[in-house]
Structure formats: structure tokens, C-alpha cells
Amino acid sequence: MGTLSKSSEIAIQIAEYEAVRSRHKSIEPEHVLLGIFSLEKVFDAGAQSQFQLNPDAVDSVRIEFEPLQSFLRAKGVDPPLMRRSIRELLRKYVSSKLEQAGTVPRPSAKIQDLCVRAAGVTDAMKSPEIRIEHFLSLRRDGACPPLAARSAALRGTDWRMLEIDGERPAFDDWRQRPTLRLDDHGKYTASTGCNSLVGSYELDPEGLRFLASATPLNGCAPSVGALERRFVDALGAVRQAQLAGVTLDLLDAAGKRRLRLEARGR
């Protein structure tokens, strides 16, 4: 069973908070839905302080939540309205209350089943993480994994750009965020947010180098094209890689960080 993605971790933390606030004895699937529909609040400074989220964690949530947010908008779903409706359902149908304030609610049998079904989707998609969209698709027998530290391998992982030359670009469309993937045979594929690249890389005790891609580049919108040129230039300058958990830093010959990327589900 995979580990929980950062967004799933936070959604479950919010679910526990909602159960505590309502003094429910158990954490129910409705609490998890509340957590998922509350993820948009993570982008507020107050919530970031409450959950002790650093900028990398916030970016991780943003990358994962943005596609779901776009889907909800397309379907006409209003998260604040959904939260109110779910809380009303909980008030009506969850009657078991904690006798003493401060007691931590325990996950219900339904929550365990929900986590197992989400894990089944994760396994079917060959993803290393249980992501929020996996909770919204739904198998039987198992339990939620612990909130364990995540890690990723340099090769065989889908990497999405967080920073370029110390700057954190904002993207109106999540598909414009550059990506990178290295295979086991010295080849890499990348998306610049406009064009796809295929090339070779060299990884040895001296470091990591990306060889120039021969892929022709099509014209892009000015803003996307400017970032594309910076991304290609940064890749070409890479000489070192530093991997920590799910974060990959690519450095040039002087040790300057040109790119910071984060692992995504495969």
C-alpha cells in the first residue's frame, strides 16, 4: 500500500479536526470529504501556520489540488456550499458524541474501508502515493497507512517543477508546469509546459548532465515560451543532483540551484 500524499495527509488532519470540533466519537468518510473540500484554505497564511506548512508543502498541495479544483468548477460544485451541506448531514446522522472534550476521535470502520478502496485505486494506477482523487474513486479489506515520510527515486519518478533560479512561477493552467522524468536507460523526457522534449542524460560519480535534446520546439505563447527557454537553459546547465525525500534539486557547476522539482504519482 502506498503512502499518503501531502494533500491526503492534510485532508485527514482536517477530518480529525472536524470530528474533534463536532465532538464525534469517530472520524467518518464525511469528515474526509470535508477535509478534501477544505484544501483550498491551505493557501491562506493562517492555515499554513496552523498546519505548520512550509512553501514546498503548500506548492505540493497546490499541484495536486488544482486539477481537482478545475474539475469541481467545471461541474458547478461550490466547495463552501458542499462543506455546509456535509456539516448539516453530520449534525443529522452522526449521533455518537464524545463524553469528554479533548478525547481524540478514532477512525470508524467506514473510514478504514474508504482508505482500502482508495488504496486499491492507487495500486491499479501504479502510483506510489494515495492521492485525494483516489479517495473520490472507489475495494475492500485493509487500513489507512500511517503518515510516514515519503521518498522518491531519481529514475522512474515523474518530477514537477517548483522553482527555477529561486523563483516560484504561478500557473493558471497546471498543464503549463514543466515536468521531467528519467528512465533507467540514460533517456529523459520532459514537458516545458508547451513542448515535449526527449533526450539523453549522463549520471556518474562526477554528477548529472542533460545532453541537448534534438526535439524541434513549436511556437508558444510569449509567457510560456519565456519559461520554456529558461527551463531548457537550466537543464543544460545542470551538473549535480541532490535528492531529499520527494524533493529534487538540480545544481549547476558552481553549486547554484537552477531547478527544484517535486515527485508526483506515476
Q: pLDDT tens, 159-186?
A: 989 899 999 888 777 778 899 999 988 9
Residue 150 has pLDDT above 60, yes or no: no
Tell me the average pLDDT across 125-145.
65
Tell me the average pLDDT across 184-211.
89
Residue 126 has pLDDT above 90, yes or no: no
Residue that has been written with the C-alpha cell 483550498 in this structure: 40
Integer CA distances (angstroms), 138 to 109, 119, 126, 204, in order: 16, 9, 15, 43
- Max mean pLDDT among 44-53, 185-194, 215-224 falls in 185-194
pLDDT the model gives residue 266: 38
Domains of the chain, residue spans: 3-135, 158-264
Phi–psi pair at 237, nearest 5 degrees: -90, -10
Percentage of the chain exceeding pLDDT 90: 19
In this structure, what C-alpha cell is assigned to residue 51? 498546519
- Which amino acid is present at 164? I
pLDDT the model gives residue 16: 84
CATH of domain 3-135: 1.10.1780.10
Give me the long-range contacts of 104-109 (CB less than 8 A, separation at least 24). 104/16, 104/20, 105/16, 105/19, 105/20, 105/24, 105/25, 105/26, 105/27, 106/25, 106/26, 106/27, 107/26, 107/27, 107/144, 108/26, 108/27, 108/28
pLDDT the model gives residue 74: 78
247: β partners: 244, 262
Residue 188 has pLDDT above 50, yes or no: yes
pLDDT the model gives residue 97: 55
In this structure, what C-alpha cell is assigned to residue 185? 536507460
pLDDT the model gives residue 102: 46
* Candidate from 83-87, 115-119, 204-208, 227-231 with smallest mean pLDDT: 115-119
Q: Do domains 3-135 and 158-264 have the same CATH topology?
A: no
Tell me the average pLDDT across 87-94.
75
Domain covering 158-264, topology = Lipocalin (2.40.128)
Residue 152 has pLDDT above 90, yes or no: no
What is the Rg, in whole angstroms, of the alpha carbon atoms belonging to the chain? 21
pTM: 0.50
Q: Assign residue 165 a region: left if phi > 0, alpha if psi is -120 to 50, beta otherwise?
A: left
Residues in the chain, overall count:
266
In this structure, what C-alpha cell is assigned to residue 72? 469541481
pLDDT band at 93 (very low <50, low <70, confident <90, very high): low
pLDDT band at 141 (very low <50, low <70, confident <90, very high): very low
Tell me the average pLDDT across 105-110.
78
In this structure, what C-alpha cell is assigned to residue 183? 528512465
Helix axes 109-124, 29-37, angle to 10 degrees: 60
pLDDT the model gives residue 254: 93
pLDDT band at 151 (very low <50, low <70, confident <90, very high): low
Q: How far is CA 266 from the centre of its chain?
A: 12
- Would you give the DSSP letter of residue 41? G
Q: How many other C-beta atoms lie within 10 A of the C-beta of residue 255? A: 9
Give the pLDDT confidence of 8-23 residue by residue, as tens digits. 888 888 888 888 777 7
* Candidate from 48-52, 135-139, 147-151 with smallest mean pLDDT: 147-151
Alpha helix segments (H runs only) across 42-187:
45-50, 55-74, 79-93, 109-124, 132-135
Q: Coil, strand, or helix at residue 63?
A: helix
In this structure, what C-alpha cell is assigned to residue 170? 504561478
- Would you give the DSSP letter of residue 38? T
Integer CA distances (angstroms), 41 to 7, 49, 86, in order: 12, 12, 17
Widest Cα–Cα separation across the chain: 68
